[in-house]
Amino acid sequence: MSDTSLPTLTKYVRVRSSANARFVEFDFAIGQPDLFVELVLPPAAFEHFCLQNNVQLMSEEQMRVNDENEEKWRFGYDTLVGNNRKAEAQ
């Protein structure tokens, strides 16, 4: 008999909203923290969601990588907009 169970994958969250916000805005990823969806839930529902999914908070490194990828996709590498943003940041 073959094992038909699904592999257990780590589930990640990154909270984007402030602690006192009316709704919790967050990123949710399964397996790969760099492939995520943006979700919004009331605080109580967010707590329940996290417990049900046994989530792990994204590390600082994972968040940094996601921010860099978002910047790349939004402004590109070696483009006029990307180069202008890089010059403004310096």
pTM of this structure:
0.76
Concatenated DSSP letters of 5-65: PPPP--EEEEE-S-TT-SSEEEEEEES-TTSEEEEEE-HHHHHHHHHHHT-EEPPHHHHHH
Q: List the domain range (segments joined by +) for residue 47.
A: 11-89
Residue 4 lies in a domain: no
Q: How many domains does the chain have?
A: 1
Cα 41 to its chain centre, rounded Å, is: 15
Strands 24-30 and 11-15: antiparallel
Q: Report pLDDT digits (tens) over 50-89.
A: 999 999 999 999 999 999 888 877 776 666 666 676 677 7
Q: Report pLDDT digits (tens) over 6-24.
A: 678 999 999 999 999 999 9
Residue 2 lies in a domain: no
